[in-house]
Amino acid sequence: MISVASQFSEVPGPRLIEEGAFSGEAFLDQQLRPAFLAAESDGATLMIDLDGTQGYATSFLEQAFGGLSREFGSTRVLKVLRFKSDEEPYLVEEITGYIGGADE
Amino acid sequence: MRFLQYGATLVLGLVIGFATGYFGRLLFTIELKKELGLGDLLNFAAVVIFAFLLQNYLQKHFSDSRVEKDHLIGIIGQAQDTISQIRKDFFDAFSKKKLSAEYKAAVVIHFRNLSNSLDLLRAALGQCGYEAEADKCAELQSLYVEYKRQITGGSFPTGPYGSDVLSDAEKTANKLYLELTNKRIRVNKT
């Protein structure tokens, strides 16, 4: 499992590393991609806990999850990733949309 | 003023009642029995009990319906207030040509609140029996995603907003606000 708040930042940042701290690009490089590949090779799922942060900009979400989908394809990504978002339930649908939209 | 209205209504009622009684007596004469049987008493009791139960049932039903509508309208109002707040903060950031850390934190929290209001509205519409309206909430959520993308997508929060963002974001905010207003009207009317 990855808890964004405790393992990355309570204040997710901008899109790219060059734009500022705790970016979507940094999250993808440091946390998401390695954990995704590890879970996939183990035949497991990867839970992403989205709670505990101040909120997510579209730029961050699109870069992190859309970026993962552009790299590996939405089918592979959706097969492995699972989401927990009690504080903002619709966030899961939103992220799933970015993952699916990356194929277009 | 209200006292005068009540008084006028009462007087009008009395006049109509007396007139009906007077002219009714002239037109019709019915021979009534001057005795009261057990059947008459039971009949009267049944009418009174039925009237009492029916009145209570109808009052509760209409009262529950009004409470549900007010609850739904309240949630819609919350969502619209959040949109107004986002617009206000966005205009401020646009005019200053700078996205401060405070603005970035605030706008992301506003969008979370808006998302949760729309989610709550969808659930509440279903629970209150407005399934058709609940199904139409997908349109609201599409507009929400589009609005959020326009305000917090791109190079947010580093770059200042361009005038194209202002134009697109305003159009989407208007559509979302109007769609919520239409939903409020439809809920109130049914």
- List residues bridging with A82 in a β-sheet: A47
Average pLDDT, chain B: 87
Calculate mean pLDDT across residues B4-29: 74
Does B28 score more than 90 pLDDT?
no
Chain A positions touching B156 (Cβ under 8 A) are 14-15, 57-59
- Measured between CA atoms, the residue of chain B closest to residue A86 is B116
Cβ of B157 and A97 within 8 Å?
A: no
pLDDT > 90: what percent of chain B?
51
Cβ of B115 and A93 within 8 Å?
A: no
- With an 8 Å Cβ cutoff, is A11 touching chain B? yes
User: For an interface test with A, which of B82, B102, B112 has the most A Cβ atoms less than 10 Å from its Cβ?
Assistant: B112
Does B29 score more than 70 pLDDT?
no
At residue B77, φ and ψ (nearest 5 deg) are -60, -40
Cis ω for the linkage preceding A14 (within 30 of 0): no
pLDDT > 70: what percent of chain B?
93
pLDDT band at residue B1 under the 50/70/90 scheme? low
Does A42 score more than 70 pLDDT?
yes
Packing angle, helices A90-101 and B101-127, rounded to 10: 110
Q: How buried is residue B134: exposed, middle or buried, by Cβ count under 10 Å (0-12/13-18/19+)?
A: middle
Cβ of B141 and A58 within 8 Å?
A: no
Cβ of B153 and A88 within 8 Å?
A: no
Does B67 score more than 80 pLDDT?
yes
ipTM for the complex shown:
0.91
Of the partner residues A55, A90, A97, the one whose CB lies closest to the CB of residue B108:
A55
Note the pLDDT of residue B165: 92
Longest Cα separation, chain A: 35
Note the pLDDT of residue A51: 96
Note the pLDDT of residue A10: 94
- With an 8 Å Cβ cutoff, is A62 touching chain B? yes
Q: What is the 3-state secondary structure (H, E, C) of A47-83?
A: EEECCCCCCCCHHHHHHHHHHHHHHHCHHHHHHHEEE
pLDDT tens across B42-54, in order? 888 888 888 888 8
pLDDT tens across B77-127, in order? 999 999 999 999 999 999 999 899 899 999 999 999 999 999 999 999 999
Cβ of B158 and A62 within 8 Å?
A: no
Note the pLDDT of residue B30: 67
- Measured between CA atoms, the residue of chain A closest to residue B144 is A94
pTM: 0.79
Does B164 score more than 70 pLDDT?
yes
Among positive and negative, which fits the CA dihedral B77, B179, A53, B107?
Answer: negative
Cβ of A58 and B155 within 8 Å?
A: no
Calculate mean pLDDT across residues A31-49: 96
Nearest-angstrom CA–CA distance, A45 and A35: 10
Cβ of B153 and A87 within 8 Å?
A: no
How far, CA to CA in Å, does A50 sit from each of A31, A32, A40, A77, B136? Answer: 13, 12, 20, 17, 27
Nearest-angstrom CA–CA distance, B13 and B113: 53
pLDDT tens across A44-83, in order? 999 999 999 999 999 999 999 999 999 999 999 999 999 9
Does B174 score more than 70 pLDDT?
yes
- With an 8 Å Cβ cutoff, is A15 touching chain B? yes
Does B74 score more than 90 pLDDT?
yes
Calculate mean pLDDT across residues B172-180: 97
Chain B positions touching A56 (Cβ under 8 A) are 108
Cβ of B115 and A90 within 8 Å?
A: yes
Note the pLDDT of residue B60: 74
Query: Which two structure tokens, joined as six digits, stand for B24?
Result: 């009714």
Cβ of A59 and B116 within 8 Å?
A: no
